[in-house]
Amino acid sequence: MTTTETDSSAIPRDPSKTAWRYYAVLGLLIVALWVPRVDGPIDMRWDGGVYYVLGTSLAEGKGYRLLNEPGEIEAIQYPPLLPLIVAAHQRVLGTSDPLVVGRWLRVFSFVIFFAYVGSIFLVLKRYLPLKVAFIGTLICLFHTNTYFMSDLLFPEVLFGLATTLFVLLSLNAQKRGLAVAAALLGIAAFGLRTIGITLLMAWVAESLFNKNVKLAGIRFAVALIPLFCWQAYIASVVSGPTYIQPAYDYQRAEYMFYNVSYAKNIFTFKDPFIPELGRVSVHDIATRFLFNLGHIPQSLGEAVSSKRIAYLIPWKFFDLPFPISTPWPVDVGLFALGSLVLTGMVVQLTRRQWLLPLYVMLSIAVLCLTPGLSNSPAISCRSPLSWFCLC
């Protein structure tokens, strides 16, 4: 069964001549959101500073290195696509001055944000009536994490664009050119975020569920390319002399978040940010997975609405006639909303629409292995994926 057959239940493109109005309104809203923050460089705090340093290293021809570290050690945590984009800006502009480059990176972020919101609408309207797709797009547009991440030198919004375009092209994968473009977008997603491997895994699994073993084999080979290249690079760095004999004793310690791989961060300590809690065991990982899994409905509820804390703050101002120490209605509401997302995934699976629910489920499985899921933006910043399933 082909992808086209799989998505035969998708609602066809709305023929209404008024569709342009929705595009116009979305465009105006996007511009309105950006006018107050169009000036100045993009925010380079937190991970953004690391991405910028790595981009500067690439632009200067020094390789993929953390120039802020003694010995300018090779980086092995983040895949290099966003630093390559930073490096391209620096080479074109002829400077690494963050005040200069940062301004153009903000412009780049605006363009990506515009395309991202448009891609969400394009995908949603393949499955929904135009008005409902528009409402779903508005929810994504005004999601706090969508807005917040677009202000930072983070790959989240660009990653979201890559994944939504991947889904859009996969709906027409019977055309060879579009299938190749989808494959490149899948590789790009992995190049932006390691968790992009789940998109490629879902892509392979979709072919298996459609009983197309040959296509699954081709997709599996494509998926191995970025994974093998990245892991081979990490292995070469880890076995190198500067990793074995670092510039200072704890430079490559497992709790040095940016200096080691994700595998070291996740599977070494119970909490990489509190290493004194001790090293993680198989039992700890299993417990962590089950604990995080129990929080998935609430996390998905946050993903399609807002973070729990946003509801807790106004809760304190309610003058209720009876005391409630814990705002359980907030948790119940988020749980119910997340359960709707899970129900939407089941509906899509029963319709043999494999790609989106498989991608969300695989992403959830990977995220459940990480410590502190309830405090992580990993799910909530991918709210459109959850919205596809909710709608």
The string of pLDDT tens digits covering residues 144-191 is 888 899 999 999 999 999 999 999 998 876 778 888 999 999 999 999
Q: pLDDT: is 158 or 372 the higher one?
A: 158
Question: Around 117, how many Cα atoms within 13 Å sit in the side-chain half-sphere?
Answer: 28
Question: Around 250, how many Cα atoms within 13 Å sit in the side-chain half-sphere?
Answer: 5
CA distance 268 to 277: 11
Cβ atoms of 133 and 121 within 8 Å: the answer is yes
Q: In the predicted model, is pLDDT for residue 372 greater than 70?
A: no
Least confident of 68-77, 81-90, 98-107, 361-370: 361-370
Q: pLDDT: is 338 or 308 the higher one?
A: 338
* Confidence label for 266 from pLDDT (cuts 50, 70 and 90): confident
Give which of 390, 388, 385, 387 is closest to 156, Cα–Cα.
385
| Token pair 């991947």: residue | 166
Q: Is the pTM of this model over 0.75?
A: yes
Predicted confidence at residue 310, as pLDDT, reads: 78
Query: CB atoms < 10 A from the CB of 212, how many?
Result: 16
Mean pLDDT of 308-330: 68
Least confident of 19-23, 182-186, 230-234, 283-287: 19-23
CA distance 264 to 272: 9
Cβ atoms of 26 and 141 within 8 Å: the answer is yes
